[in-house]
Amino acid sequence: MMVGLKSGLAIGGALVAWILGLYGYLPIETSLQGQQIVQPETVAQGTKMLVSIFPSIPFLMAVGLLFFYDINKNKEIQIEQDLYKQRNSTN
């Protein structure tokens, strides 16, 4: 579980940095001593996309996959019965 969490956070952070780079983000390291960085206007647009459109893409893909998830009431009852039998057979 921890491996999945750590890898997800690492991939997510790298993805955010990569996407901001595509929108022209200028890190502090690129500035000269004592000079203030002015970010391009595209960075504001990229930030808005990072908190709105881009997170909705995997969500909508997951919702689409749920249409193929074959569980209905009868299947749920069958799973419950199988689990009940399994629990009682081990005791």
Round to whole Å and give the CA distance between 12 and 90.
42
Round to whole Å and give the CA distance between 67 and 81.
24
Q: What is the pLDDT of residue 5?
A: 94
pLDDT digits (tens, 9 = 90+) for 49-74: 999 999 999 999 999 999 998 888 99
pLDDT digits (tens, 9 = 90+) for 6-27: 999 999 999 999 999 999 998 8
pLDDT digits (tens, 9 = 90+) for 38-49: 899 999 999 999
Arithmetic mean of pLDDT, 72-80: 93
The gap from C-alpha 31 to its chain's centroid, in whole angstroms, comes to 31
Locate all alpha helices (DSSP H) within the chain, ordered by sequence.
2-22, 41-51, 53-66, 73-90
SS3 of 28-43: the string is HHHCCCCCCCCCCHHH
pLDDT band for 91, please (50, 70, 90 cuts): low
| Cβ neighbours around 20 below 10 Å, total | 19
Round to whole Å and give the CA distance between 54 and 59.
9
Query: Which candidate, 75, 73, 66, places its Cα nearest to that of 83?
Result: 75
